[in-house]
A and B are shown apart, each in its own frame.
Chain A
Amino acid sequence: GENVEQHPSTLSVQEGDSAVIKCTYSDSASNYFPWYKQELGKGPQLIIDIRSNVGEKKDQRIAVTLNKTAKHFSLHITETQPEDSAVYFCAATKGSGYALNFGKGTSLLVTP
């Protein structure tokens, strides 16, 4: 299948700092790019998403940017808090369909 690459695999920041996670995708037909947060013992939860006709979207401390030409998108978390600690996944649609390909995840640790 088409690949979604995600970096870094682990990220440690101090409380109050910003965190950035980057993803690239290879399928030029992908048109929807969600981000998920997974806490221990739970399923992933959607935190923000962006469609291919939008360059940036923000929801409080979380923002996502998309560069369709370069086929990359990024998650930005500002003013991080310890409760932001979790594994974060980016994803992209398989072509213009509904199924998603996921990145390998980023384990974010926010230290007080």
Chain B
Amino acid sequence: EADIYQTPRYLVIGTGKKITLECSQTMGHDKMYWYQQDPGMELHLIHYSYGVNSTEKGDLSSESTVSRIRTEHFPLTLESARPSHTSQYLCASSEPGQGSGYGYTFGSGTRLTVV
């Protein structure tokens, strides 16, 4: 059972609105990530965080922002939604510890439609 939660699951919103997609995990993971999944299923890294007060942009240019004030919470905000933001957004976290590359646990995603 997943210990990473994304809300809402589905969201339809008008152009120009500000929205925040929520992501929380109860596993104590330091590392958290946001991916955008396009209709062709490809996953694009848009933001990541390696700990509190640490955030980085990913490879895909994004008009979103993130914050990491608490270990368990990693919200994604769109200041002004546009139809081009319509997509599935997936949040993930990974295990802390020595070395690198521990497997992700993904949330179930938020499917965003901007009309």
Q: Mark B86-113, 1 if CB is under 8 A from A, else 0.
A: 0000101010000011111111110000
Per-residue CB contact flags for chain B residues 33-67 toward chain A (1 = under 8 Å, else 0) read 10100001111010010100000001100000000
- B59-A1 in contact (CB<8A): yes
Q: Determine the chain B residues whose CB is within 8 A of the CB of A32 once the complex forms.
A: 100-102
Q: How large is the interface on A (under 10, 10 to 19, 20 to 34, 35 or more residues)?
A: 20 to 34
Q: A98-B101, A104-B40 are in contact. Are A43 and B106 (CB under 8 A)?
A: yes
Scoring A1, A43, A102, A105 by chain B CB atoms within 10 A of each residue's CB, the highest score goes to A43
Residues of B within 8 A of A (CB): 2, 31, 33, 35, 40-43, 45, 48, 50, 58-59, 90, 92, 94, 100-109
Seen from chain A, the residues whose Cβ lies within 8 Å of a Cβ on chain B are 1, 31-32, 34, 36, 38, 41-46, 49, 51, 87, 89, 93-94, 96-102, 104-105, 107
